[in-house]
Amino acid sequence: MPSSSFGASLATPKLNVAIDTGNPFLNVTVDGFLKIGTVAAAKSLAEDAYYVVKGGNFSGRKIEHSLKKMCKEGAYWGTVAGMYVGMEYGMERIRGTHDWVCCLYLTI
């Protein structure tokens, strides 16, 4: 029966999070989803914080809208990154090598 575990380490300036699902393909895909999804959510938060500071108006509706936007952006870009990393990993496993030709197949 497969088991999963969670591990994290913090080293300046890196934060590594490892989720072991028991399947290397899923490990790589989930890792890509989490890393890029977090970056997209942080970018969205930074943009909204800039507009709040610049505009000066701070309301509950804006916070709610900002939170929804953060979740949507994180989920969207995380899904795209997870699919890309998963496809790249699959192509690498099929071909047996890791090179730029693998990435060219994905763009054609």
> Domain map of the chain by residue range?
5-107
CA 75/CA 108 separation, integer angstroms = 25
Residue showing tokens 């108006």? 57
CA 33/CA 26 separation, integer angstroms = 10
- What pLDDT, on the 0 to 100 scale, is given for residue 12? 59
pTM: 0.68
**With 70 as the cut, is the pLDDT of residue 23 above it?**
yes
CA distances from 3 to 20, 75, 96 (A): 8, 25, 27
Pairing type for strands 5-11 and 14-20 reads antiparallel
Greater confidence (68 vs 103) lies with 68
For the segment 39-74, what is each residue's pLDDT rounded down to a tens digit?
A: 999 999 888 888 877 877 777 787 888 889 899 999
